[in-house]
Amino acid sequence: MSNVIQASQLTLAYDNGEKEIIKDANFSIKKGEFVFITGPSGSGKSTLLKALYGQLRPTAGSLIIGGNDLSNIRRNKLQELRTHMGIIFQDYKLVNEWTVSKNVVLPLMIAGYSSEIQETQARRLLKHVKLSEYGERYPLELSGGEQQRVGVARALSKNPVVILADEPTGNLDDYSSNVIWDLMENACQQLDTTVLVVTHKIPTIFSLPYRHFIIESKGVYEVH
């Protein structure tokens, strides 16, 4: 299987390279894999994720996603690449002035799909995350677990090649967390999507075989 993500001698830093977070990291992730990245608070988990969706440019080395090197990618190419990613955030990052349905189909809207397709997909996805009745509500009318299910539905809406999740269950109770893990496992199994989850704790209920990386002392190491 081909690598969807490939990092070589990857260095990530803030403040024009002065504050190094990750240094000379090497790892690769194949299509359809489910990968956990863990590490103590402040170790650089979210920084790595930011780099993976192109929000932070590598200071040195290369970070290749779907054949695109993010260290020198052009803005319009990055925009195009992001349309093939599903991103899930700990704080959901839903647009509060939009309805749940509109939030879910954001990636389709960006890709220019017709409103009929968007409506059909919104209904299908909301059914999938068991929020069929919530389409016309607004995010702030929903509980945290429900909002995160909307976030997952949004991430899945365009059958992404990669799903990147930053502490997706960080703010949720056990029941809501398990629902989210189920949805992500299903996406990986049924859609052959690569899923990369940054979390401080791997869930015990997890049934899929997965790879586990840990970030420690600026390095990214695989745990066997």
Q: Which residues of the chain form contacts with other proteins (CB under 8 A)?
A: 14, 16, 50, 53-57, 75-76, 78-83, 85, 87, 93-98, 106-107, 109-110, 154
The string over 157-182, giving b where at least 16 C-beta atoms fall within 10 Å of a residue's C-beta and e elsewhere, is bbebbbbbbbbbbbebeeebbbbbbe
94 versus 215: smaller Cβ distance to other proteins: 94
- Please answer whether residues 4 and 29 qualify as being in contact, where contact means their C-beta atoms are separated by less than 8 angstroms: yes
C-beta closer to other proteins: residue 170 or 203? 170
**Nearer to other proteins by C-beta: 98 or 210?**
98
CB 142, min distance to other proteins, A: 16
Q: What's the CA gap between 93 and 105, in Å, rounded?
A: 14
In our burial notation (b when 16+ CB lie closer than 10 A, e otherwise), range 125-142 reads bbebbebeebbeebbeeb
Which residues are within 8 A (CB) of 221 and not within 5 positions of it... i.e. 6 or more apart? 213, 214, 215
Q: Closest separation between CB of residue 89 and other proteins, Å?
A: 9
What's the min distance (Å) between Cβ of 224 and other proteins? 33
Question: Nearer Cβ to other proteins, position 39 or 151?
Answer: 151
The CB-side HSE value for 65 (13 A sphere, CA atoms) comes to: 30
**Nearer Cβ to other proteins, position 26 or 55?**
55
Longest Cα–Cα distance in the chain = 50
Nearer to other proteins, 49 or 183 (CB): 49
Residue 109 C-beta: closest distance to other proteins, Å:
8
Q: How far is the CB of 207 from other proteins (least distance, A)?
A: 29
Measured at the alpha carbon of residue 35, what is the angle toward residues 173 and 31, in degrees to the nearest 5? 130
The smaller minimum CB distance to other proteins, of residues 110 and 223, is found at 110
Least distance from other proteins to the Cβ atom of residue 170, Å: 18
Q: Which of 204, 134, 136, 138 is nearest to 169 (CA)?
A: 204
- Label residue 124 exposed, middle or buried (CB < 10 Å: 0-12, 13-18, 19+): middle
* Minimum CB distance to other proteins, residue 152 (Å): 14
